Structure 1
Amino acid sequence: MSNPKTKFSVLMSIYYKETPEFFNKAMQSIWDNQTLKPDEIILVKDGPLTAKLDEVISIWQEKIPNILKVIALKSNLGLGDALNIGLKECSFNLVARMDTDDISMPDRFKKQIEIFKEKDIDICSSWAREFDGDETNIVSYKKVPKFHKNIIKFSKSRNPLNHPATMYKKEVVKNAGGYKKMLWFEDYYLWARMIINGAKFYNIQEPLVDMRAGFSQLKRRKGLKYALYELRFQKELLEIGFINIFEFIRNVTIRFIVRILPKNMVKCIYKLLRK
């Protein structure tokens, strides 16, 4: 007798700056093109959207009315708060994160569910491919360590998971305090608290998500303002005991320099890190 299907939710948040075409492609990738389809999709509208975005959402509500659940927030609260609200609405303990402008590979959910069945873990992510403009224009790979102990070591200096490729146990995320306000670092901050709480991590060693990133995204994460947000985040990691003072000084020094370097030099560093 075959094992019963492991049910899971997909959690997404969308706001007014998203592109309708990108969102539609993201939905196609997690529903139309998936070999193992989710049992529900929780979509949080983080504040009022454009008419075109609402139109695409309505089309999908008509297409999969028993799968897609839309939660409309009156105002834009930010990614962390929106995801916390959506997480509460997820019916199943296994929750897959997905960004509304990325593309999941057809076997993504199937491979992640298999890992959860095989291994004693609480969260599973994977490598990701980054594309710039057209999804066929792959510019880099975001590779992350496979095993828990290597993930812990990696996490002391860099984000150890690709957030849009994660699948996790809802109860473990809630026990770590859920998503908290930490602009641009909500996911990394959550992983740090989950590690402190003893959660078990695993990364599949192949890309399961194509992320809309590349150098155009990198431009937004430059400059003094971003460096100061990064300093705030590193201070928080130090205060909660996730990193020590030496790791703090190293991280802040390296990251501050990178954020204020000329664009061409940052591109070179970016290529080295994303081979």
Structure 2
Amino acid sequence: MSDAKQTENTLKTAPFTLLMSVYAGDTAHDLKRAFESSVQEQTLAPAEAVIVQDGPVSPELAAMLETIAAAAPIRTKIIKLARNQGLGAALNNGLAACSYEYVARMDADDVSLPERFATQWARVQRDNLDLLGTGMYEFSSNHTTPGMRRVPPTGAAIRTHIRTHNPVNHPTMLYRKSAVEAVGGYDEMGSMEDYYLVIRMLANGAKVDNLAEPLLAYNVGDTTASGVYKRRGGIEPLITEVRIQWQLLRAGFIGPVRFIVNSAVKGTYRLLPAGLKRRLFSRFVANGLPGERGTK
């Protein structure tokens, strides 16, 4: 009996969909690891997977998508977009193809821990949640261990934390499809479409919570000053920061004073040298829960 067939016969699943998006910047190796960690290695696996190919990809990545679709122990759909449309649009295309009411997000270069979905599924069913995130570990391509991303663990803390940062680690999301569709799905917001989604869901009355337990390993890429921290800076991220603050103001999560303060502080951060951003991010964001006090 083949390994794939053997896994299919023994895999325990629940009625939710795994949703992933891949693009030209992803690698076949990372995608294979991400998919297997989220399906074959789970103590409770999704019953279905939807993977969106966001525009042209390398031959190696295209071949891996075909291999995954053919060998996966669960029903797996590959949605191919002719051109790169960006993560938000890709996820909206994938969401439309998801058969189940609950959808689990996964990036193509992260790793789900074996108990991730069993733990999350039990919690969303018990508490009838619309969105559940978790803590997550970090790892990097240059073999450093940046730390762990903590999350506010209760509904009240989430509404406070959202004033300054996304209160849900985006690759850990397990959400109710209808609750996401109720706010129009993913919407364009630079690299912050997940943050914007959580803002709109909370404003719409969605029941959102977190598990403090880290259930995913998040690939932060190159953590040198020339890597991920350089990419967090510049004019476009600054503009996106201000746009996010405007949406928080419109939704009533912050007032005019907090809007000005947040825009100034977070805008300045985006223009700092990459090395300084790395130290500040590690100290105040990756390993802490900043912004939970102060003027609304």
What is the TM-score when the length of structure 1 is the normalising length? Answer: 0.93
In the alignment, is residue 247 of structure 1 matched against residue 258 of structure 2? yes
Tell me which residue corresponds to 1:27: 35
Tell me which residue corresponds to 1:56: 64
**What do the CA deviations read for 1:124-172 (whole angstroms, capped 9, x no partner)?**
10011111116x7421211111111110110011110011101000011
Tell me which residue corresponds to 1:71: 79
In the alignment, is residue 81 of structure 1 matched against residue 89 of structure 2? yes
Shift of 1:237: 2.9
Contact 1:128 1:210 in 2 (8 A): yes
Tell me which residue corresponds to 2:292: none
In 2, the alpha carbon distance for the partners of 1:185 and 1:71 equals: 23
Contact 2:13 2:46 in 1 (8 A): no
Shift of 1:17: 1.3
What is the aligned counterpart of 1:226 among 219, 226, 237?
237
In the alignment, is residue 193 of structure 1 matched against residue 212 of structure 2? no
In 2, the alpha carbon distance for the partners of 1:194 and 1:139 equals: 30
In 2, the alpha carbon distance for the partners of 1:272 and 1:58 equals: 42
What is the CA RMSD across the aligned residues, in angstroms? 1.7
How many residue pairs get matched? Answer: 271
Contact 2:229 2:275 in 1 (8 A): no
Contact 1:157 1:247 in 2 (8 A): no
Matched residue type, 2:202: I
Shift of 1:76: 1.1
Shift of 1:66: 5.0
Shift of 1:173: 0.6
In the alignment, is residue 47 of structure 1 matched against residue 58 of structure 2? no
In 2, the alpha carbon distance for the partners of 1:225 and 1:96 equals: 29
Shift of 1:65: 7.0
Which secondary structure does the structure 2 equivalent of 1:75 belong to? coil
Identity of aligned pairs, percent? 36
In 2, the alpha carbon distance for the partners of 1:31 and 1:195 equals: 29
Matched residue type, 1:124: L
What is the aligned counterpart of 2:182 among 175, 187, 191?
175
Tell me which residue corresponds to 2:153: 146
In the alignment, is residue 213 of structure 1 matched against residue 224 of structure 2? no
Tell me which residue corresponds to 1:263: 274
Which secondary structure does the structure 2 equivalent of 1:204 belong to? strand
In 1, the alpha carbon distance for the partners of 2:242 and 2:68 equals: 41
What is the aligned counterpart of 1:119 among 121, 127, 139?
127
In 1, the alpha carbon distance for the partners of 2:257 and 2:72 equals: 51
In 1, the alpha carbon distance for the partners of 2:263 and 2:279 equals: 20
Shift of 1:223: 2.2
Tell me which residue corresponds to 1:101: 109
In 1, the alpha carbon distance for the partners of 2:130 and 2:254 equals: 22
**What do the CA deviations read for 1:170-190 (whole angstroms, capped 9, x no partner)?**
011111111001111101101
Tell me which residue corresponds to 2:293: none
What is the TM-score when the length of structure 2 is the normalising length? Answer: 0.87
Matched residue type, 1:55: A
Shift of 1:241: 3.7
